[in-house]
Amino acid sequence: SAVISQKPSRDICQRGTSLTIQCQVDSQVTMMFWYRQQPGQSLTLIATANQGSEATYESGFVIDKFPISRPNLTFSTLTVSNMSPEDSSIYLCSVVPLAAPTDTQYFGPGTRLTVL
């Protein structure tokens, strides 16, 4: 597997502001994904972070609201823009390590976001 860190681990934000979440991996990965887990619900994929090109968004998620960057094989950011209380969730990045024997996704510890 890979060691995945996310910053910040948690934050409390005001409505209308933006927050950028970082995901850093200790080894090169092929795929990076961003998921959301709203309170009491399952994990939902937001987008696939593509290195050097625009992210691929799932239905219901748009680039203006969730801009994503992936400048290299070990780092990605997700921004939650113009936040509202409905954006209060745990945001998780996941990766598929380049050297892994199987293409299993491993998850970071998550960023717990509360929007007031």
Partner 1 sequence: DQQVKQNSPSLSVQEGRISILNCDYTNSMFDYFLWYKKYPAEGPTFLISISSIKDKNEDGRFTVFLNKSAKHLSLHIVPSQPGDSAVYFCAASETSGSRLTFGEGTQLTVNP
Q: How far is CA 15 from the centre of its chain?
A: 20
In degrees, rounded to 5, the angle at the alpha carbon of residue 1 between the alpha carbons of residues 33 and 88 is 35
What whole-number distance in Å separates Cα of residue 34 and Cα of residue 66?
Answer: 10
Binding residue (CB under 8 A) for partner 1 from 48, 50, 79, 114: 48
Residue 41 in contact with partner 1, rule: CB under 8 A: yes
C-beta of 11 vs 58, nearer to partner 1: 58
Token duo for residue 93: 């990045």
**What is the per-residue binding string for partner 1 in 70-99, x denoting contact by CB under 8 A?**
----------------------x-x-x---
Residue 53 in contact with partner 1, rule: CB under 8 A: no
Q: Is 74 left (phi over 0), alpha (psi -120 to 50) or beta?
A: alpha
- Residue numbers of the site for partner 1 (CB under 8 A)? 1, 4, 30-31, 33, 41-45, 48, 58, 92, 94, 96, 102-110, 112
